[in-house]
Amino acid sequence: MVSDNDLQEQDILFARHSIYSKNRDVEYYELLFRNADNAFCPSIDDQSATFEVIANNYANVIQNGVEKIVPCFIKVTDDLLLSDKLPELPKGRFVLEILGRSHITPELIIKLKELGKNGIRLALADYDPRERRFDVLLNIVHILKLDIRRLGMDNIPALIAKLRPFHLELLADKVESKEQYLECVKMGFSLYQGFFLSEPATVKGKKIHANKMVLLQLLAEIDRLGSDARSMEEIALNDPALTFKILKVVNSAAFSTPKKILSLSHAISLLGMAQIKRWIIIFMTAGDDKVPADLLANMLVRGRMCELLSEMSGEEDPISFFMVGLLSQLDALLNIEMNELLEQMPLTHDITQAILAHEGKMGEILSDVKYYQLGDFDAVQGGLGNAIYQVAYRHSIKWADQVMKAI
């Protein structure tokens, strides 16, 4: 739950976008942010919002249950670079992203060379090969972002050949499909950014795997009048791996209890029916070793943020909002068309329509959360205020990290 102290944060909105390696591991996060004036906040080096705080909040990634810190891309303006407001940055923790609209002055070039000599990695965004003003930067920056949508896929191989003498790390930006990703791999890009992980390669007629049928049975049972921990236990015991997961969750950081667990029904009782419903949904998404960790983490963030915003809006059934948020990307996870997928799941009409058409209050909050995750802050329609959205997002990331460790 969001506390009053959390709402004292500065009125700054943050979202993070993943940047992947060829193996689809998260190599960096790009931080998208703005203040009340829709700009980079020059007071970012104040005690209340230092770069270090940003890194602690947003640079964690969980892979194979292990937490690690990845560097963060941060967009910087010319004014910030040339002012004395840029704090001393810890080496290896940040990449300063120079904007395409920058004015390439002798002063800026001197400053960038100085930063590079001091071990700060630099990236250039919005690169246009027709603009000769960028040429001098190709010998200074370390990473070059190429917008494949704007440049055109057919033009990129020749451009890469021209860039090869500069020994730059090339980042393919706006990669929106798996097909584009595979083509960029062949071209020799080192880094990839876009929403291709969320694009399902839909296979019509595909069914949910057998071990997930037990979870579907549990979802149906939990909504049955008269269901209890023992009736849930009878179903869960049909899947030994699920039994282990439930017991593991009860003893994890995501749900702490000082009591000794006597049985599976005891563990279910400790979690409570609302909590066990949440974890059943999580297990639905996390049951496959081939699941991309970053996609699962983003799904968890979306579900939890929908839940928190529903609580702050005074809604009576926050767990349904959690379901809507988490399941809204299940098609990408399972490679099953969403319409067909929802036909196989015992969900209410309201939940189904919220996912498919963003209908009702659940659909409205889901839409806001999706826009927030994209960093499209202006498209967020809810009236809770920037502080609520920012704190809910940050809490959701922390919670998702705990869940990723537990599962």
Type and span of the H or E element at 74: strand 72-76
Rounded Cα–Cα distance for residues 189 and 22 (Å): 8
What are the residues whose beta carbons fall under 8 Å from the beta carbon of 9, sequence distance 6 or more?
A: 48, 49, 387, 390, 391
| Each residue's pLDDT tens digit, 6-22 | 434 456 788 899 999 99
Q: What are phi and psi of 283, to 5 degrees?
A: -65, -30
Pick the CATH number of 5-198 from 3.20.20.450, 3.30.70.600, 3.20.20.70, 1.10.150.120: 3.20.20.450
pLDDT tens figures, 217-249: 887 788 778 888 888 888 887 776 777 777 777
* Cβ atoms of 179 and 171 closer than 8 Å: no
Confidence of residue 348 (pLDDT cuts 50, 70, 90): confident
The C-alpha atoms of residue 398 and residue 16 are separated, in whole angstroms, by 13
**pLDDT of res. 252:** 67
Q: Is the pLDDT of residue 256 over 60?
A: no
The DSSP secondary structure of 116-154, one letter per residue, reads HHTT-EEEE-S--TT-GGGGGGGGT-SEEEEEHHHH-GG
Q: What pLDDT is stored for residue 336 in this prediction? A: 78
Q: Tell me the three state secondary structure of residue 90.
A: coil
| The residue type at 293 | A
Domain 210-406 CATH superfamily: Hypothetical protein af1432 (1.10.3210.10)
Looking at per-residue pLDDT, the higher value among 66 and 244 belongs to 66
Q: Where are the domains of the chain?
A: 5-198, 210-406
In angstroms, the first-to-last Cα distance of the chain is 22
β-bridge mates for residue 76, sequence order: 98
Window from 68-72, 266-270, 301-305, 383-387 with minimum mean pLDDT: 266-270
pLDDT over 90 percentage in the chain: 40
Q: What's the CA gap between 328 and 306, in Å, rounded?
A: 11
HSE-CB of 168 using CA atoms within 13 angstroms: 27
Quote the CA–CA distance of 336 and 331 in Å, as a whole number. Answer: 5
Residue type, 201: A
* Across 311-317, average pLDDT: 92
Give Cα separations from 274 to 20, 75, 365 (angstroms).
Answer: 35, 41, 20
Residue 160 contacts residue 187 (beta carbons within 8 Å) = yes
Structure letter (DSSP) for residue 261: P
Burial of 378 (0-12, 13-18, 19+ CB in 10 A): exposed
| Beta strands at 94-98 and 121-124: parallel, antiparallel or unpaired | parallel
Length of the chain: 407
Q: How far apart are CA 375 and CA 380, in angstroms?
A: 10
Q: Across residues 99-119, what is the average pLDDT?
A: 92
Inform me whether the pLDDT recorded for 169 exceeds 90.
Answer: yes
Q: What percent of the chain has pLDDT over 70?
A: 82
Residue 256 to residues 242, 279, 391, 395: CA-CA distances in angstroms? 19, 14, 23, 17
Instruction: Round to whole Å and give the CA distance between 6 and 87.
Output: 24
Contacts of 189 (CB under 8 A, 6+ apart): 22, 146, 170, 171, 172
